[in-house]
Amino acid sequence: MEGRNEQTKNYHKMREQARVFYTQIIKINCPAFNNEPVYFTAGGFRHLVCKSNRKERQKNVQVAKFGLLKKVVFLISHTTTHQEYEERLLQGRLIQYWGFVAIINNFRIKVIVHQIGYGKKEFLSVIPAWKIYHYKDIKLISNAVGDLGDD
Protein backbone atom coordinates (compact mmCIF):
# COMPACT_ATOMS: atom_id res chain seq x y z
CA MET A 1 0.00 0.00 0.00
CA GLU A 2 1.29 3.44 -0.90
CA GLY A 3 2.39 5.66 1.91
CA ARG A 4 0.80 9.05 2.49
CA ASN A 5 3.85 10.90 1.11
CA GLU A 6 3.76 8.86 -2.11
CA GLN A 7 0.02 9.53 -2.56
CA THR A 8 0.60 13.25 -2.01
CA LYS A 9 3.47 13.29 -4.52
CA ASN A 10 1.29 11.49 -7.07
CA TYR A 11 -1.56 13.94 -6.48
CA HIS A 12 0.73 16.96 -7.00
CA LYS A 13 2.18 15.41 -10.15
CA MET A 14 -1.30 14.67 -11.56
CA ARG A 15 -2.52 18.15 -10.67
CA GLU A 16 0.45 19.75 -12.41
CA GLN A 17 -0.02 17.59 -15.52
CA ALA A 18 -3.71 18.53 -15.59
CA ARG A 19 -2.87 22.22 -15.15
CA VAL A 20 -0.41 22.15 -18.04
CA PHE A 21 -2.91 20.36 -20.29
CA TYR A 22 -5.72 22.71 -19.22
CA THR A 23 -3.75 25.92 -19.84
CA GLN A 24 -2.89 24.76 -23.36
CA ILE A 25 -6.56 24.43 -24.33
CA ILE A 26 -7.37 28.19 -24.15
CA LYS A 27 -10.64 27.90 -26.13
CA ILE A 28 -12.69 25.41 -28.14
CA ASN A 29 -15.32 26.24 -30.72
CA CYS A 30 -18.60 24.58 -29.75
CA PRO A 31 -21.18 23.54 -32.40
CA ALA A 32 -23.97 23.84 -29.80
CA PHE A 33 -23.22 27.58 -29.62
CA ASN A 34 -22.98 28.07 -33.41
CA ASN A 35 -19.22 27.49 -33.11
CA GLU A 36 -18.75 30.30 -30.60
CA PRO A 37 -15.72 29.57 -28.43
CA VAL A 38 -15.86 28.18 -24.93
CA TYR A 39 -12.92 29.57 -22.97
CA PHE A 40 -10.89 27.60 -20.45
CA THR A 41 -10.05 30.15 -17.78
CA ALA A 42 -8.19 29.99 -14.49
CA GLY A 43 -11.61 30.05 -12.81
CA GLY A 44 -12.56 26.78 -14.51
CA PHE A 45 -9.42 25.05 -13.28
CA ARG A 46 -9.92 26.48 -9.80
CA HIS A 47 -13.46 25.03 -9.86
CA LEU A 48 -12.02 21.57 -10.57
CA VAL A 49 -9.94 21.90 -7.41
CA CYS A 50 -12.37 23.81 -5.16
CA LYS A 51 -16.10 23.98 -4.63
CA SER A 52 -17.90 27.25 -5.22
CA ASN A 53 -17.32 28.21 -1.58
CA ARG A 54 -13.55 27.90 -2.26
CA LYS A 55 -13.31 24.86 -0.02
CA GLU A 56 -10.93 22.34 -1.58
CA ARG A 57 -12.55 19.23 -3.03
CA GLN A 58 -11.35 15.84 -1.86
CA LYS A 59 -8.18 14.86 -3.69
CA ASN A 60 -9.74 11.73 -5.23
CA VAL A 61 -12.56 13.88 -6.65
CA GLN A 62 -10.03 16.32 -8.11
CA VAL A 63 -8.05 13.49 -9.68
CA ALA A 64 -11.23 12.07 -11.23
CA LYS A 65 -12.06 15.48 -12.73
CA PHE A 66 -8.49 15.89 -14.02
CA GLY A 67 -8.77 12.50 -15.73
CA LEU A 68 -11.89 13.62 -17.64
CA LEU A 69 -10.35 16.74 -19.22
CA LYS A 70 -9.58 15.10 -22.60
CA LYS A 71 -13.18 13.91 -22.77
CA VAL A 72 -14.32 17.48 -22.00
CA VAL A 73 -12.37 18.75 -25.02
CA PHE A 74 -13.94 16.10 -27.23
CA LEU A 75 -17.47 16.76 -25.96
CA ILE A 76 -17.35 20.54 -26.30
CA SER A 77 -15.88 20.34 -29.79
CA HIS A 78 -18.52 17.85 -31.02
CA THR A 79 -21.77 18.47 -29.16
CA THR A 80 -24.63 20.08 -31.06
CA THR A 81 -27.10 20.55 -28.23
CA HIS A 82 -27.27 20.98 -24.49
CA GLN A 83 -29.31 18.72 -22.21
CA GLU A 84 -29.69 21.14 -19.30
CA TYR A 85 -30.09 24.88 -18.98
CA GLU A 86 -30.44 27.10 -15.94
CA GLU A 87 -30.51 30.85 -15.34
CA ARG A 88 -29.82 32.78 -12.15
CA LEU A 89 -29.70 36.42 -11.20
CA LEU A 90 -26.77 37.23 -8.96
CA GLN A 91 -26.21 40.81 -7.85
CA GLY A 92 -28.27 42.02 -10.79
CA ARG A 93 -26.32 40.00 -13.37
CA LEU A 94 -27.74 37.13 -15.36
CA ILE A 95 -25.73 33.92 -15.13
CA GLN A 96 -26.54 31.18 -17.62
CA TYR A 97 -25.48 27.55 -17.20
CA TRP A 98 -25.52 24.86 -19.87
CA GLY A 99 -25.10 21.16 -19.09
CA PHE A 100 -23.81 18.83 -21.81
CA VAL A 101 -24.12 15.10 -21.16
CA ALA A 102 -22.49 12.37 -23.22
CA ILE A 103 -21.08 8.88 -23.01
CA ILE A 104 -17.49 8.91 -24.23
CA ASN A 105 -15.48 5.67 -24.16
CA ASN A 106 -17.88 4.16 -21.60
CA PHE A 107 -17.76 7.23 -19.34
CA ARG A 108 -20.95 9.23 -18.90
CA ILE A 109 -19.95 12.79 -18.11
CA LYS A 110 -21.62 16.13 -17.68
CA VAL A 111 -19.76 19.26 -18.75
CA ILE A 112 -20.95 22.60 -17.40
CA VAL A 113 -20.39 25.85 -19.27
CA HIS A 114 -21.47 29.22 -17.91
CA GLN A 115 -21.77 32.81 -19.07
CA ILE A 116 -21.99 35.84 -16.80
CA GLY A 117 -23.96 38.69 -18.34
CA TYR A 118 -22.77 39.30 -21.89
CA GLY A 119 -19.32 37.91 -21.16
CA LYS A 120 -17.66 34.96 -22.82
CA LYS A 121 -18.85 31.39 -22.39
CA GLU A 122 -16.50 29.58 -20.03
CA PHE A 123 -15.89 25.98 -19.04
CA LEU A 124 -16.95 25.63 -15.42
CA SER A 125 -16.77 21.97 -14.48
CA VAL A 126 -16.96 18.30 -15.39
CA ILE A 127 -18.65 15.64 -13.32
CA PRO A 128 -19.43 11.98 -13.76
CA ALA A 129 -23.14 12.04 -14.60
CA TRP A 130 -24.05 8.99 -12.59
CA LYS A 131 -23.10 7.02 -9.58
CA ILE A 132 -23.59 3.28 -9.33
CA TYR A 133 -24.61 1.78 -6.02
CA HIS A 134 -24.85 -1.94 -5.32
CA TYR A 135 -27.40 -3.44 -2.98
CA LYS A 136 -26.98 -7.20 -2.73
CA ASP A 137 -27.20 -8.40 -6.36
CA ILE A 138 -28.97 -5.27 -7.59
CA LYS A 139 -27.17 -2.45 -9.37
CA LEU A 140 -28.77 0.94 -8.70
CA ILE A 141 -27.88 3.85 -10.95
CA SER A 142 -28.48 7.32 -9.64
CA ASN A 143 -28.37 10.23 -12.08
CA ALA A 144 -26.34 13.12 -10.77
CA VAL A 145 -28.79 15.81 -9.91
CA GLY A 146 -26.81 18.71 -8.70
CA ASP A 147 -26.58 22.40 -8.74
CA LEU A 148 -25.07 23.38 -12.09
CA GLY A 149 -23.20 26.19 -10.40
CA ASP A 150 -21.74 24.01 -7.65
CA ASP A 151 -20.84 20.80 -9.48
pLDDT of 83: 94
Query: How many CA atoms, within 13 angstroms, populate the side-chain half-sphere of residue 141?
Result: 5
**Strand, helix or coil for residue 58:** coil
Region at 14 (left for phi over 0; alpha for psi -120 to 50; beta for the rest)? alpha
Q: What is the pLDDT of residue 33?
A: 98
Residue whose C-alpha is closest to residue 21's, from 69, 68, 71, 63: 69
What is the C-alpha to C-alpha distance for residues 63 and 61, in angstroms, rounded to an integer?
5
Mean pLDDT by 10 residues, the chain (151 residues): 65 95 98 98 95 88 93 97 95 96 88 96 88 57 51 52
The predicted model scores a pTM of 0.80
pLDDT of residue 137: 62
Contact predicate 84/99, CB 8 Å: yes
| pLDDT of res. 145 | 45
42 φψ region: left (φ > 0), alpha (ψ -120 to 50), beta (else): alpha
For residues 132 and 81, the answer to whether their CB atoms sit within 8 Å is: no
Task: Indicate the DSSP class of residue 7.
Answer: H
How far is it, in rounded angstroms, from Cα 84 to Cα 98?
Answer: 6
